[in-house]
Amino acid sequence: MLAKRNPLCPICNEINGCAIASTGDLQAQCWCKQQNISIDVIAKVPESERNQSCICMNCAGNFALESSD
């Protein structure tokens, strides 16, 4: 099974650095498999992009910090 190959973060439109998005291989090793991304961060993703595009490490970390303040 292949994932949608979208290299851009749906929040900032920068390269998301996701190995799965880059290769289309759901079994690829990627930083995102080890990351817990909060519901607040996921809520920033436009509805049309949810479960379609990977959030970049920068947005995942920065918005998670904002949410915990």
Domain-located, residue 37:
yes
pLDDT, position 2: 44
Domain-located, residue 3:
no
Q: How confident is the model at residue 11 (pLDDT cuts 50, 70, 90)?
A: very high
14 pLDDT above the threshold of 50? yes
What's this model's pTM, rounded to 2 decimal places? 0.74
Domain-located, residue 11:
no
Domain-located, residue 8:
no
Domain-located, residue 5:
no
The total number of structural domains that make up the chain: 1
The residue range of the domain holding 24 is: 19-68
Q: Which of 6 and 12 is assigned the larger pLDDT?
A: 12
Domain-located, residue 10:
no
Q: CA-to-CA distance for 18 and 67, rounded, in angstroms?
A: 23
pLDDT tens per residue across span 20-44: 888 888 888 988 888 888 889 999 9
Q: What number is the average pLDDT over the span 2-22?
A: 84
